Structure 1
Amino acid sequence: MLWTALFLAFIATAEPTVAQDITQFPILAPATAPRKLHGRFLHITDIHPDPYYKTGTSLKKACHRKKPSKKKNRSKYWGTPYSDCDSPLHLANYTLDYVNKHWGSEIDFVIWTGDNARHDNDRRTPRTPAEIFQLNRNVAKRMEKLFASKGIPVVPSLGNNDLWPHNILTPGPNAVTKEFTSIWGSFIPFAYHQIFQRGAYYSTEVVPGAIAAISLNTLYFYDSNKVVSGCDSREPNDPGNLQFDWLEVQLKIYRSRGMKVWLTGHIPPSHGNYFPECYVRYAELSLRFQDTILGHLYGHMNADHFYLIEDVDLLLDVDQPDGKLRGEDDLCDALLNDFADIPKRSKTDMDGFGVVNVSPSVVPNPYLPSFRVYSYNISGTPGDVDILRKGRKPSHNRGDHGSKEKYCAEKEYKHSWKCILNNTWHTDSDSPSRTNTLWSPLGYAQYYIPDLGEGNKTHYPHFKLEYATYAPAALYPLTVNDEEGMKDKDNAFYPIPLKNLPKSLRKGPVSKSKYLPYGMEDLTIGSWVDLARKLSKDGNQKLRKKFRKYMYQA
């Protein structure tokens, strides 16, 4: 078959899985010889390689066949931006090779959030489970060769298009969870294989003894998956509920060990994506363990944006502010309206917020190929921060919020998790998610291919810096102090290596740049809330225009 031949080309440079010592992914204790940290990690998502993609074919035929008379309706060699077509295999290869060449020696781990098969958008050439699994296996082999073989942990998540039919996943163990246990066998710690076979989720330590990444199976929360119960509290064996029960235990363990956690998966947690009760459980755990969770990294939406998880999300409907009930067709407008509900800084309680970051996709459907590289604080040692805050009591209990006591006895509300969940929240203004300290996220640089449609077999496209979140001064740390108090320029931390900056930023400090629109000091919760508040103000039209531009890359 055609796609079989193309598969062989796709993995021509791949090598057999490199055996890895289980101590690289410690469950209870850190490795004896930790890797040197670079303070950066990659987030890449939604590659969607398509073995049937053909140059010059019709956009209306999924870029698979028929040559339209008008050139504007024909597929491009490297992929067709702003279309419904998926990625040609050489775009997938080129992207991973580019990341490896320019960032492979600069990152500590890889967050890879799913959708490694084509969309089911061609009735004449329907997808099959065998094709989906093979595409995922091919991409996994590339990830093994380029990253895992160098000792860089890779953290994959299951996407809604990584199974057949798309969106539908029955409770495990099943054929999908068993197959992906094999496909991702070298990425998932052995101790979690049985858990993964049951639910396609797992946990791994990406910085041993310090930072873990928890890969969630968001299909069990997704409201398009009609074969699960949507986290109904009366269904304790619902796979969504079982996953949240497991997640709660994981967060408790990591918190007790003084570790920090990134939550990651394919489909972002929101009212529009998750079953209502699943979203309540996610929001409650996110806020209850705010002192442990560094952030939330997702894909699926293909549009660059961020949004806030708020304590008002846990209010009963009778208490919901109007702003949380309205909806808009345009994602950007909806977010800006939500941001407008944020109170003034003096009246904002940061204990009640979490931040979800949604990365754009590699597939040029419907925008431009993109990836992100985050930086995080690696200065100091764990001893510099009393992570467990011994002697300090947890912040507060949300059990008597709003009209809970009055309405939770009523039939309409008594089975809702909003009424059931009354646990004490663990928040701390000095935690890395709130204050720039050891392990705090500092910023990210986003790269994209603006000239995708102009390339051909002999002219390659170019990844360029689209924008970065940093304040200008943060890009150029001139010196750091070593143990003797001497200035050591060679050991200074650059969040973006100079070689990966555009020429206008390589020369040295600048006061402002078109590449640095947000000027964020770090990516702590307060910094994100401040940016959201700025975006919501009518007087900041220029900033809002940039936010929209980055979201839709147009």
Structure 2
Amino acid sequence: MDLDFCELLNVTFVKVSVDIISVIKMSNRMTGGFKFLLIVVVFGSLCASVHGQCDDAAFESLENVGEEIALENKFFRYNASSTSVAHHSSCTLCYLLSITAQRIYFCNRSQEQLSYLINGLCVFLRIYNSRICQGIVSVYKDEVLYVVGQLLLSPKQLCAVLIENCGEAYNPFKANWTVALPDVPKPPVQPRQQPKPDQPVLRVLHLADIHFDPQYAQGSEADCNDPLCCHKNSTKKSMKVKQAAGRWGTAGLCDLPIKTMILLFEHLQDEAEFDYVIWTGDLPPHNVWNQTRNGQLHAYEYLLQLFNEYLPNKLIFSALGNHESAPADSFPPHFKTLPNKYSISWLYNALAEGWSATVDPEQKEAVQDSIKRRASYVVEVKPEELQKAENEGAKVHIIGHIPPGHETCLKEWSRNYNIIAQRYENVIRAQFFGHTHSDSFTVSYDRSGSDVRPSNVMFVAPSVTTFAYCLPAYRIYTIDGVHENSTWEVLDIETYILNVTEANQTGERPKHYNRVDEECGKSCRKARLCELLSSNSAAYATCIHKPVVKL
């Protein structure tokens, strides 16, 4: 059947104009970069009709995908659940956007032409309002189009990386690669020993995903259609506010007010007892369409100011979150051929200076060199360092932002991380992560022998921000302390929350954070069991949705 791609897309629009909007709404929590690429899909079909044809033969694969969508109705075929619809549609959209984005790039259209049309389609499809559409296009266009021009992956390979169970392989970069471990046999597993009650302990503060928002406005709309609410422009002035943003924060699509962030540090200074701090990243708010490099640096400098003012004598161990960069999620590697305008050194240089001030003076130069030369948003766990620790009888704690096994972490990377963690389970005593905004933990299992055996645990801290629909929280771990034969194990976990909803109702200044110590019913117990039995997000999702069988 000989159909022009633009005609095919027009037919699809007429048939599913309502459905495309609903499917895009389902993916409302996508980061700005991926939403920008989503818009490029539709724009690419107009490239030929608005600006004239490029080489037709070069876009044969694009027409084949468009024909498949129109003829087989694979784009919006409703299955049993909205989840399956969203996944199938996102997968097909990904194929389209990958081919079309390349088409746009090689058409040599100007940045102004691309921005104008993409912004118009973003508004037309009601993905966001014009203000946010324009912001997303402005922030992401340069890097997205540069990456498209350098991309060596096929559309299906790219989509395999971006979307679970979509495409040819989970990881096209040597899909089944396995990390090389030192040629040293794994020693016998050491039984976990409980320390004596009178042994010294360490108390460790874990702050995750602060996401403080300087633009938070009390009384503004908290129930808006934007990705982030509680701003003065979250609703039109002519419209009545449906849900007013509270004084101390709002458990919804809102980030943390500055005053509540300061309240947290005042509380930590006066009431919380701990020896050192773990901060696992994500400081700026979720307004990814309105962020600049200077803005990200100012947020980081403000956090350091609070640490210096309220916790001046505490050691701070930090990890980088995916929101620290501008644009968010953009951490280019140190390629020699990378143009300077895309370099991430502006962030790493600031981190090197700030982080080195929180460590021992003798380690300052080494920390700065490590960050400037080797830092990138690619988590690297070096088996050689763990082997050195094993040789010396030392123990190790690992901190990071995105927990391995999470849906936003490449599967092959997670698998190889697990290989390392299994090999060095005698060395790795604890692993601390954030990113999910939820209070949880994950148990990993050793399946190499005849019996499946739990081998290590990852502790995932809740967020300080209220985004999305959370209460501000932090954790304190009690760890086996400094003494001979210390295990350095986590002995206890305390989670503290600030009930901003209650504080907003009373109108008074919240007095303290409350320790979470509530009953666990059937659904809670099932969730806890699934956490124990699952080593990644897919396994947990399968477990949690299984019907309960009464015995």
Q: TM-score, normalised by structure 2?
A: 0.52
Alignment-derived partner of residue 357 in structure 1: 459
Cα drift, residue 462 of structure 1: 4.4
Counterpart AA for 1:198:
R
In structure 2, the CA distance between the partners of 1:516 and 1:169, relative to structure 1 (3 Å rule), is same
In 2, Cα distance between the equivalents of 1:182 and 1:458?
A: 40
Alignment-derived partner of residue 494 in structure 2: 445
In structure 2, the CA distance between the partners of 1:120 and 1:71, relative to structure 1 (3 Å rule), is closer
Contact 1:47–1:115 (CA under 8 A) maintained in structure 2: yes
Contact 2:200–2:480 (CA under 8 A) maintained in structure 1: no
Task: Give the SS at the match of 1:447.
Answer: strand
Task: Give the SS at the match of 2:356.
Answer: coil
Listed one character per residue, the Cα deviations across residues 511-533 of structure 1 (whole Å, up to 9, x for unaligned) are: xxx46999xxxxxxxxx9x9637
Alignment-derived partner of residue 476 in structure 2: 373
1:392-403 aligned at under 5 Å gives the runs none
Task: Give the SS at the match of 2:397.
Answer: strand
Counterpart AA for 2:281:
G
Task: Give the SS at the match of 2:271.
Answer: helix
In 2, Cα distance between the equivalents of 1:44 and 1:163?
A: 19
* 2:529 maps to which of 527, 532, 540: 532
Unaligned runs of 5+ residues in structure 1 are 1-35, 201-216, 222-242, 316-342, 386-436, 469-513, 519-527, 538-546, 549-554
1:34-433 aligned at under 5 Å gives the runs 39-59=202-222, 60=224, 62-66=229-233, 72-81=242-251, 83-103=252-272, 106-121=273-288, 123=289, 126-147=290-311, 149-150=312-313, 152-172=314-334, 174-188=345-359, 189-190=363-364, 191-200=366-375, 219-221=377-379, 243-244=380-381, 247-270=382-405, 272-312=407-447, 347-350=451-454, 353-366=455-468, 367-378=470-481, 381-382=483-484, 385=485
Contact 2:443–2:531 (CA under 8 A) maintained in structure 1: no
Cα drift, residue 116 of structure 1: 1.2
In structure 2, the CA distance between the partners of 1:70 and 1:38, relative to structure 1 (3 Å rule), is farther
In 1, Cα distance between the equivalents of 2:373 and 2:531?
A: 44
Alignment-derived partner of residue 454 in structure 1: 503
Listed one character per residue, the Cα deviations across residues 299-323 of structure 1 (whole Å, up to 9, x for unaligned) are: 11101111223345x99xxxxxxxx
In 1, Cα distance between the equivalents of 2:280 and 2:329?
A: 15
In structure 2, the CA distance between the partners of 1:262 and 1:374, relative to structure 1 (3 Å rule), is same
In 1, Cα distance between the equivalents of 2:369 and 2:278?
A: 22
In 1, Cα distance between the equivalents of 2:519 and 2:502?
A: 22
Task: Give the SS at the match of 1:290.
Answer: coil
Cα drift, residue 77 of structure 1: 1.1
Task: Give the SS at the match of 2:429.
Answer: strand
Cα drift, residue 370 of structure 1: 0.2
Listed one character per residue, the Cα deviations across residues 500-547 of structure 1 (whole Å, up to 9, x for unaligned) are: xxxxxxxxxxxxxx46999xxxxxxxxx9x96379779xxxxxxxxx9
Task: Give the SS at the match of 1:455.
Answer: helix
Cα drift, residue 256 of structure 1: 2.6
In structure 2, the CA distance between the partners of 1:536 and 1:179, relative to structure 1 (3 Å rule), is closer
Counterpart AA for 1:373:
I
Identical-residue share of aligned pairs (%): 23
1:403-552 aligned at under 5 Å gives the runs 438-452=487-501, 454-455=503-504, 459-467=508-516, 514=518, 532=529
In 2, Cα distance between the equivalents of 1:452 and 1:100?
A: 23
In 2, Cα distance between the equivalents of 1:451 and 1:155?
A: 28
Task: Give the SS at the match of 1:193.
Answer: helix
Cα drift, residue 44 of structure 1: 0.8
Listed one character per residue, the Cα deviations across residues 96-133 of structure 1 (whole Å, up to 9, x for unaligned) are: 21112112xx2121111111111125x4xx11110111
Larger Rg: 2
Task: Give the SS at the match of 1:184.
Answer: helix
Q: TM-score, normalised by structure 1?
A: 0.51
Counterpart AA for 1:220:
V
Counterpart AA for 1:532:
L
Unaligned runs of 5+ residues in structure 2 are 1-198, 335-343, 535-543, 546-551
In 1, Cα distance between the equivalents of 2:513 and 2:308?
A: 25
Alignment-derived partner of residue 115 in structure 2: none
Counterpart AA for 1:39:
L
Cα drift, residue 50 of structure 1: 1.1
In structure 2, the CA distance between the partners of 1:70 and 1:309, relative to structure 1 (3 Å rule), is farther
In structure 2, the CA distance between the partners of 1:120 and 1:451, relative to structure 1 (3 Å rule), is closer
Listed one character per residue, the Cα deviations across residues 283-337 of structure 1 (whole Å, up to 9, x for unaligned) are: 111111111111111111101111223345x99xxxxxxxxxxxxxxxxxxxxxx
Alignment-derived partner of residue 7 in structure 1: none
Listed one character per residue, the Cα deviations across residues 362-408 of structure 1 (whole Å, up to 9, x for unaligned) are: 100111100011102238x32xx3xxxxxxxxxxxxxxxxxxxxxxx
In structure 2, the CA distance between the partners of 1:464 and 1:516, relative to structure 1 (3 Å rule), is farther
Taking only aligned residues, the RMSD between alpha carbons, in angstroms, comes to 3.5
Contact 1:450–1:463 (CA under 8 A) maintained in structure 2: no
Counterpart AA for 2:306:
R
